[in-house]
Amino acid sequence: MIKLAKWLQLDLFEKASSREAVEISPQPVELKFGRRFSQSWSVTWKKGQACQLRLPGICQDAPQAILDAFLEWVDLAVFKRRTQTHKARKKTLEAEIRDYLAMAAGAPEQVRLSEKTARRRLQTYRTQGKFHDLRQAFDRVNREYFEGKLQAQITWSSRLGGLSTHCKRPHPDGGQYDLITISRGYDAADATAEILDGVVYHECLHIVYPPRVKNGRRIVHGKEFRLAEARYQHYDAWMHWHRHGLPKSLRKLSAR
């Protein structure tokens, strides 16, 4: 069972990274998997009971970003008011999910569309921000902690929020590549290179230690991941800014 929080009230990266339990108005969501190559999903819920989110069986191997998209979709479909903003966001999530399902299922006509989409996406990634260049940050982290062996695309998030992510994207020439997306809140004057490198390092660790399933439970931040994360030289300074500086930075962006 997965805990679904009120997404607009909870910084999910904070929940994932904190060594303390963080829960704000949790709503249980029970995942069920259907036919492996189905292209549809559904949610059922009765007041006082857990939601049941039924996903295609192929989603058992989905990256964390896709599972996050499903959970955000549930929050919008079931618990949020149907405002124009929420409807638009829900439609965007559905497009992202269907794109993944088409790629994972390998339907020929959808694969061709996915290749065109993949090529277009590669052209939209932005590394240069107002204060920081993500490519420089990735190169620093890669060189210092991974012997320069990691290969990934990196970009500032197109959304306003505190969530930074790692996911797999289809490459237009076949196969997949790693994509790291960093919250725009980190593009701030008081976010030093050590602070920015901290979140980049965390997302790089998802490449080295991908999610695994143990006893039917999906483990994203396992013991090896946590031990490696603690080896970041400026861990305490990074986490302090993430908890206190990031919310302030996001409020400034929202006020613009």
**Which CATH number goes with the domain that contains 239?**
3.30.2010
142 and 45 share one domain: no
Mean pLDDT of the 33-41 span = 76
99 and 131 share one domain: no
Domain assignment present for 118:
no
20 and 145 share one domain: no
The answer on pLDDT for 11 being more than 50 is no
The whole-model pTM stands at 0.61
- Which is nearest to 210 in space by CA: 106, 61, 98? 61
Mean pLDDT of the 205-212 span = 90
91 and 165 share one domain: no
Domain boundary among 47, 71, 106: 106
Domain assignment present for 208:
yes
CA atoms within 13 A on the CB side of 172: 8
Mean pLDDT of the 202-222 span = 83
Domain assignment present for 246:
yes
Domain boundary among 72, 106, 140: 106
65 and 152 share one domain: no
How many structural domains does the chain have?
2
> pLDDT tens across 147-163, in order?
999 999 999 988 777 78
Evaluated on CA atoms 181, 141, 120, 103, the torsion sign reads negative
Domain boundary among 76, 106, 136: 106
6: containing domain: 1-106
| Cα dihedral 58→28→183→144 (10° resolution) | -70
254 and 153 share one domain: yes
